[in-house]
Structure 1
């Protein structure tokens, strides 16, 4: 072999090694981002418990009377507190407890969304979303609750997943309570074809599902969960597994369907 050929092969191997190291670094950075963000969403959990207890039986105006619990169309699970994406016939279930103001939830959604869409669209997985208000409790404000109500209103219109994704794509900084504005939420609904209707606007502005969101937040507390997102695959907490990746989740789903 000529010296030139040997140099060419050596250079190719070096390029490959550099590329592999870049991929490893990117994966470590992604995991660090999710872990770091999740810490932010855990801080102040004790205050959430206090807020939930203090606000039990009250609406946003401070009244001692709470409105009726109105679950969104097609809500499922215990007490109809979950919004499902995917077919009932899918064997495995992914349960996600999340807060639209939580940066760790956004990090999870950004990393896993393409895989979740693929698996739910192909009928291999169903995802049950539970909406909570941990950041409202940590930092004050009502953006978590208002966004969750709006997402439930989108579910009534059969457009939950699309609006859910839009909310995370347009998530404000954690300290910015922009989602507390119904007008802002309705503006974002304009990004989902056919969602911004008089019925949707009325549902958002009247807080049709506010008590349902409050009940979901109470269920989060009662479940003993420590932060958002909490992600369970057939009951097992996979978000706590630092080796978990979208590819690994896909393998778990495929194995569950074969079994």
Structure 2
């Protein structure tokens, strides 16, 4: 349209296209679908991330378990090698493989063989009932006692108190103090479920109750487990003997602990009768 000289028509204004209602809803739906797809992608990525974390954790746990297994195996080998070393019998030990600790005179007519475990409550009960009579008979030269040390409770309850107490008793034998220390161990026996004798410090503390026993030599013997291999061998002999348990008490080869009629007085009479003949 002609506006006259010097005048131009204004440029047409941009008018956005009108969008129908249907297309508007379609656009919203498409947007929601795109958002849903994006969320699903994020969820899938999160699941993959968790899977990788769990997988890595399992690998770490399995690796740690393998390391622990190797360490435990090596520890077991070290323990085994320590128990299977040269057998150092205590001073004066007698009998087959020097597994018996003798108390009393060699000339005694009767021999009492005792298989015992310092953690065993029944052994303590036997000691409490029969100890005065046994001491009386050994002091009179009428009875010889051969003590064999076992580690039955260690095997049944776990721990190492039976073995360590037996080693300490063997160390006391080296010092000529076996009987006194033997009695102290039973007098202070811990509960069967408590492995107090696994602590060398406790065994050394109890040695203070025996005059002249707590010496550097005794301490070293206890702490180094000098007689551990001997104790292990003694326990193997106990198992090979197929005894019912501890204590096992034999008078001249006859099991008197199983005799329900046995009493300290009856034992005394039997030993004194044998001494006459």
TM-score interval, normalised by the smaller of the two chains: 0.7 to 0.9
SS of 2:217's equivalent in the other structure is helix
Whole-angstrom CA distance in 2 between matches of 1:237 and 1:83: 19
Q: Structure 1: which 5+ runs fail to align?
A: 1-57
Q: Structure 2: which 5+ runs fail to align?
A: 1-75
> Which TM-score applies when normalising by structure 1?
0.76
| 8 Å CA contact retained: 2:133, 2:264 | yes
> Which TM-score applies when normalising by structure 2?
0.71
Q: Give deviations 1:88-116, integer Å, cap 9, x for gaps.
A: 01111000000000000000000001000
- Larger of the two Rg values belongs to structure: 2
* Alignment of structure 1 residues 185-200 onto 2, 5 Å: 185-200=203-218
Q: Give deviations 1:182-225, integer Å, cap 9, x for gaps.
A: 00000000000000000000000000000000000000011111
Report the counterpart of residue 180 of structure 1 in structure 2: 198
Q: Number of aligned pairs?
A: 202
Whole-angstrom CA distance in 2 between matches of 1:234 and 1:73: 24
Q: Give the direction of change, closer, same or farther, for the CA distance of 1:239–1:252 in structure 2 (3 Å limit).
A: same
1:123 to 2:141 alignment? yes
1:220 to 2:238 alignment? yes
Q: Give the direction of change, closer, same or farther, for the CA distance of 1:185–1:236 in structure 2 (3 Å limit).
A: same
1:82 to 2:100 alignment? yes
Q: Give deviations 1:126-178, integer Å, cap 9, x for gaps.
A: 00000000000000000000000000000000000000000000000000000
Q: Give the direction of change, closer, same or farther, for the CA distance of 1:175–1:192 in structure 2 (3 Å limit).
A: same
Whole-angstrom CA distance in 2 between matches of 1:142 and 1:64: 14
Q: Cα RMSD (Å) of the superposition?
A: 1.3
State the structure with bigger RCO (CA 8 A, min sep 6), 1 or 2.
Answer: 1
1:160 to 2:185 alignment? no
SS of 2:170's equivalent in the other structure is helix
